[in-house]
Amino acid sequence: MTCTLEVPLDSLDAALLAAPYADRLELCDDLASEGWTPTSGLIRSVAARIDTGRTHIVSMIRPRSANLSAFLDIAAFTTTPRILEDALFEIDASARAGAHSVAIGLLTPDGFVDMAACEKMRDAALGHGLVVAFLRTFDLLADRARGMDDITALGMTRVVTAGVLGWDAAVLTLPERLAVLGADAAHAAAAAEKHGTSPVEIVPGGGVRASNAADFLTVSPHLHASCRRLGAISVEELQALQDVLAASNGGR
């Protein structure tokens, strides 16, 4: 299977640097705060300046009205009527601006996938022909196996996950994270068989760098990495990570 790289970023300049190395650019606003829905202007500008036949644009759907908690916890991603309304509007705006895909991830207050809300968001995205992925809110779920079954039933193509419970990837060692990600892959395969569809692609994220990419590639050929050094997008890190992917691909 071909290895892929998804890079989250929040500016046109960063997108132009990353595009030659990335398969997908996940656009957002204010990456330092883990991102909000990007503006239509940013999506449109990036779409006009990169080779969209090679590098696809993903729009993170996280309305600013979702800021219900000062922490990256379940409360910060729990559905409300206003949040869902804003999310549906932002999916439409993202599609019209040139996104190929959206990443969604609204939850219930008790830490499960909000199936009703996500179904509406999925349908809105599919109505525009967009691919739909699940955000790293997967790591906040109370039950990862049930969560994988839920997002498979929803028809999610992929899910970004650090292989931990919560947002801090440092709470587990790398081997422990790889074990969790391996279990996620097994859950994805089982859910796919149950629902008669393709397995959700596991996309490891959270501290993925060229120095550890080969380890993550043992559990999934798809990676999510910010490729930043000293707080800024780094061409050197992008190239180093792409070299690891190319080696796994047998040359690219």
Q: Report pLDDT for 67.
A: 53
Q: Assess contact for 5 and 23: CB atoms under 8 A.
A: yes
Max Cα-Cα span within the chain: 48
The position carrying tokens 């499960």 is 112
Check which CATH number belongs to the domain holding 143 and give it.
3.20.20.380
Region 165-177: mean pLDDT is: 96
Summarised one tens digit per residue, pLDDT across range 111-147 is 999 999 999 999 999 999 999 999 999 999 999 999 9
For the chain, how many residues are written? Answer: 252
The position carrying tokens 């379940």 is 74
Q: Assess contact for 128 and 91: CB atoms under 8 A.
A: yes
**How many distinct structural domains can be found in the chain?**
1
Q: What angle do CA 246, 249, 252 make, to 5 degrees?
A: 50
How far lies 135's CA from each of 16, 27, 158, 203, 246, in Å? 23, 13, 9, 10, 26
How far lies 108's CA from each of 15, 74, 114, in Å? 33, 8, 5
Other Cβ atoms closer than 10 A to 198: 12
When computed from its CA atoms, the radius of gyration of the chain, rounded to whole angstroms, is: 17
Predicted TM-score (pTM) of the model is: 0.95
How far lies 130's CA from each of 94, 114, 201, in Å? 10, 20, 16
Domain housing 185: 4-249
Summarised one tens digit per residue, pLDDT across range 12-60 is 999 999 999 999 999 999 998 889 999 999 999 999 999 999 999 999 9
Helix 144-154, helix 115-127: angle, nearest 10: 30
Region 48-73: mean pLDDT is: 87
